[in-house]
Copies of this chain bind each other. A is one copy, B any other.
Amino acid sequence: MGKAGSLELLPGTLDLLILKTLAAGAEHGYGIASRLKALSEDVLQVGESSLYPALQRLLLKGWVKAEWGASDNNRRARFYTLTAAGRKQLSAERDEFDRLILAIHKVLNAT
């Protein structure tokens, strides 16, 4: 899963990050990766070989839908959009994430 050196992603958080990114509006794969990298100030780096399987997952679950269109500089691109179910899932996954992080912090800050 991770790597020895330094991770570029916390396993299990990719879906959440994608959903959150898409909450700001429709975006294509490459754009999602770029936004993630930019927002995290170069810390979070999603490879495309992680991203596309994840998007397939989200499509299958019905949390996002996809449509072909043209990107900024008229290249063909597939735009992903959050569905209503996706918005719900985002909220749920966020709660769950917070719950776990809180718990982890309790452990890490124990004497």
Residues B100 and A7 in contact, CB atoms below 8 Å apart: yes
Q: Which single residue of chain B is at the shortest CB-CB distance from A5?
A: B96
Residues B100 and A39 in contact, CB atoms below 8 Å apart: no
A81 close to chain B: CB less than 8 A = no
Q: Which single residue of chain B is at the shortest CB-CB distance from A40?
A: B103
Chain A interface residue number, banded: 20 to 34
A56 close to chain B: CB less than 8 A = no
Q: Which of A16-73 contact B (CB under 8 A)?
A: 16-17, 20-21, 24, 36, 39-41, 43-44
Closest A-B pairs by Cβ, 7 of them: A43-B103, A40-B103, A11-B11, A11-B12, A39-B107, A10-B100, A44-B103
